[in-house]
Structure 1
Amino acid sequence: MKHLLKLSFVFLFIVACKSLPTATSTTFVKHSDNKIVYEGRVGQNENNSASEIYWSGTSIKINFNGTSVKAILDDENGTNYFNVIIDGTKSEILKLEKGKKEYVLAKDLLEEKHSLEITKRNEWTYGKTQFFGFEIDGELLEKDKEKELFFEFYGDSITAGHGNEDFTGEDKADGNVTNNYNTYAAITGRVFNAEYSCIARGGIGIMVSWFNMIMPEMYYRLNPNDENSKWISQKTPDVVVVNLFQNDSWIVNRPNHKEFKRRFGTEKPSEEKIIESYANFIKSIRAEYKNTSIVCLLGNMDITKKNSQWPNYITKAVNSLKDSKVYTCFVPYKNTKGHPKVEDHQLIANQLISVIENRIIK
């Protein structure tokens, strides 16, 4: 009987131990871990202790088995915003503070496989963000299979997503109402499950901008603030989309603006000069990417309103190239004030997707 009681006690003890919750181990994932997937142009800080995030839409993604994730980030000005996307669903907007901080991205998750991605909402002009790594209550898993397609976008405030979630009428640029994830560019990338890179700045043009930089002086940069910082791509884009000239179309009619004077002197550029400038920029992209398909997009602010000559300028520029892999896509004027909102971006995306589906990726 004593033996039976002893065996019963041992059995109950084993069952009780098995029912106790197991402590989840904490894993630190360094920024350089090869199981992290980056999209966009990402640099390294001086001592390679962190990755540097500049451009709109840049993303960092991991897969893990666990219950919570933190990120260690250092924001230059405390003005950047990121989306937090858990298991493919946007969960919150992360507003960064100035300096190096630890941020809880996800907590109280079921202890099972999850994905976590953060994407930069606003422009590089708000300052860079350094990413040191993730801290997981759980285990880091293998990254997703590499995407088969790669799309790169060059643009201005439309492509950056200026105020696309601002429905107050103020048309603000701040990251709480600017969301690159919901631009036509990012939407198009997701439809094709393509790796995504966005090179954009509000106010920029090909010939002239509202400030002292034009896209031909910026498009090749890794760090947009450093003219000597050249991006060396590890892969060639399948599709490049250029959505520029909106700002040029305004400034060429403002002869008293300092950038007009600096770029043109006293004389407005001729139609021939406008066409040549656009063609030369497309040639510079072609020199980098020999076999990439290039879509010359316009829309959907007033550059495509009725009787605008700018779509015609681009058509003539494209025709002059005699390049069978350069296409045009013009989206009609939205006929409302301010920058495109999310629904306007969806309309641009619809037309762009149609061009890519029917003429490029068949």
Structure 2
Amino acid sequence: MNKLKLFTSAFLTLLVLVTHAQTLVKFNNPKVYYMGRTPMSDSTAQLSWTAASVIINFNGTTVKATMNDENGMNYYNVVVDGKVAKVLKLDKGKKEYELISGLAKGPHRLQFFKRTEYDWGRTWFYGFNINGKLLAPPAYKHKIEYYGDSITCGMADEDTSGKDRGDNDYENGYASYAGVAARNLDADFRCISKSGIGVVISWFDYVMADIYDRAYTHDTTRWDFKKYTPELVVVNLFQNDSWLTKNKEHEQFKKLFGTTPPTPVFIITQYQLFIRSIRAKYPKAKIICTLGSMDATQRGSPWPGYITKAVAGLNDNAIYTHIFPYKNTNGHPSIKEQQVMGDDLTAFIKTKLKW
């Protein structure tokens, strides 16, 4: 009788251990899916760009992750089964975080999504600790790559005060039109974007053509474009150019143009050069050249016309022009306005590309 009790007790203990088995998953496990331009080293994956994500399918109840954040200023969305379950601000340094717990038993999808742009710092991801079992990685119907500025980054989209603050606390790249359209279309997407950046001039000493091919912006390492081939590239630039090409007192204006603003011909030519560089990387991709929805698209603005003329001059039937309607409110697009933009872009893509 005592032996039977001992056997029963041991069996139940083993059953509990199996039921609550911990699965350690290294960053380079083939079942871990990365969305975004994500450089790899021998020990970690580096998340830096807006929307950089780590995604897993798993059967279990709890997921933890070990990460090292550069500055302790990055925010991430923890998205479980398609819904944002938690917003997580990382501490500086290496640490294990509980991403989710208490899930019902069964299959789930978890996405760890970088809301903040690269200037808030990098995050090095080491791996997961899952209470459960890792499943096959997700698959997406389409692939999109975005090149943009603060609008694409989702800057200030969560600032409801009207102050249009560009702090990391109010930036949510998940709510950006780029993410909205990608989720509408079941697309893997990546955002090569930076607040303040332009085509001919930025608020700082580099433009998009200087960084579009970097693995990480503040490094000279070039990205291997063979690692990811999008079906579609969306370019939303010129908002900052529209401000700075008139600001003769700004240091970048003086450095680049002296005292004479650039001509429309120069602006159009520079835009064409950038689009040609994208075309050289992705010969078969469709390209949408867009702008908006801030004041560069308001009535009387020449900037939509510059894009239209640039695209016409490229003589490429796989390059389209689509200008977002002017939102006619102050500051950057809100989450609601980003949603409108995302749905608008979705409709255009479905019409032109038949997705």
User: Structure 1 residues 27, 18: CA separation in 2 closer, same or farther (over 3 Å shift)?
Assistant: closer
Compute the displacement of 1:21 (Å). 6.1
Q: Secondary structure at the match of 1:43?
A: coil
Compute the displacement of 1:334 (Å). 1.1
1:91 to 2:124 alignment: no
- Work out the CA distance in 1 between the residues paired with 2:238 and 2:162: 24
| Counterparts of residues 348-359 of structure 1 (less than 5 Å) | 348-359=341-352
Q: Is the 1:41–1:231 contact (alpha carbons within 8 Å) kept by the matching residues of 2? A: no
- Work out the CA distance in 1 between the residues paired with 2:180 and 2:200: 28
Q: Which residue of 2 aligns with 1:250?
A: 243
Unaligned runs of 5+ in 1: 1-5
Q: Is the 2:180–2:343 contact (alpha carbons within 8 Å) kept by the matching residues of 1? A: no
Q: Secondary structure at the match of 1:317?
A: helix
Q: Alignment partner for residue 319 of structure 1, among 293, 312, 316?
A: 312
Q: Which residue of 2 aligns with 1:40?
A: 36
| TM-score, reference length from structure 1 | 0.92
- Work out the CA distance in 2 between the residues paired with 1:219 and 1:235: 14
Summarize deviations over 1:160-180 as a string: whole Å, max 9, x none. 000111111222233332111
Summarize deviations over 1:145-197 as a string: whole Å, max 9, x none. x3231100000000000011111122223333211111100111111111111
- Work out the CA distance in 2 between the residues paired with 1:235 and 1:103: 29
Q: Which residue of 2 aligns with 1:188?
A: 181
1:62 to 2:56 alignment: yes
Q: Which residue of 2 aligns with 1:104?
A: 98
Q: Which residue of 2 aligns with 1:210?
A: 203
Compute the displacement of 1:311 (Å). 0.6
Unaligned runs of 5+ in 2: none
Q: Alignment partner for residue 330 of structure 1, among 323, 328, 335?
A: 323
Q: Which residue of 1 aligns with 2:76?
A: 82
- Work out the CA distance in 2 between the residues paired with 1:350 and 1:118: 23
Q: Give the fraction of aligned pairs with identical amino acids, expressed as a percent.
A: 42
Q: Secondary structure at the match of 1:110?
A: coil
Q: Secondary structure at the match of 1:263?
A: helix
1:179 to 2:175 alignment: no
The structure having more radius of gyration, on CA atoms, is: 1
Q: Which residue of 1 aligns with 2:108?
A: 114
Number of residue equivalences: 352
Q: Is the 1:155–1:201 contact (alpha carbons within 8 Å) kept by the matching residues of 2? A: yes
RMSD: 2.0
Q: Which one-letter code corresponds to 2:85 in the other structure?
A: S
Q: Is the 1:218–1:227 contact (alpha carbons within 8 Å) kept by the matching residues of 2? A: no
Q: Which one-letter code corresponds to 1:248 in the other structure?
A: D
Summarize deviations over 1:271-324 as a string: whole Å, max 9, x none. 111111111111111111111110011111000001111111111111101110
Q: Secondary structure at the match of 2:343?
A: helix
- Work out the CA distance in 1 between the residues paired with 2:216 and 2:14: 51
- Work out the CA distance in 1 between the residues paired with 2:301 and 2:47: 37
1:31 to 2:24 alignment: no
Q: Which residue of 2 aligns with 1:124?
A: 118
Choose 116-125 or 256-265, whichever is displaced more.
Answer: 256-265
1:300 to 2:302 alignment: no
Q: Secondary structure at the match of 1:278?
A: helix
Compute the displacement of 1:81 (Å). 0.5
Q: Is the 1:122–1:174 contact (alpha carbons within 8 Å) kept by the matching residues of 2? A: no
- Work out the CA distance in 2 between the residues paired with 1:329 and 1:346: 16
1:343 to 2:336 alignment: yes
- Work out the CA distance in 1 between the residues paired with 2:252 and 2:335: 31
- Work out the CA distance in 1 between the residues paired with 2:273 and 2:337: 29
Q: Secondary structure at the match of 1:359?
A: helix
Q: Which residue of 1 aligns with 2:252?
A: 259
Summarize deviations over 1:73-106 as a string: whole Å, max 9, x none. 0000000010001122111100000000110011
Compute the displacement of 1:20 (Å). 9.2
Q: Which residue of 2 aligns with 1:136?
A: 130
Q: Secondary structure at the match of 1:199?
A: strand
Compute the displacement of 1:64 (Å). 1.5
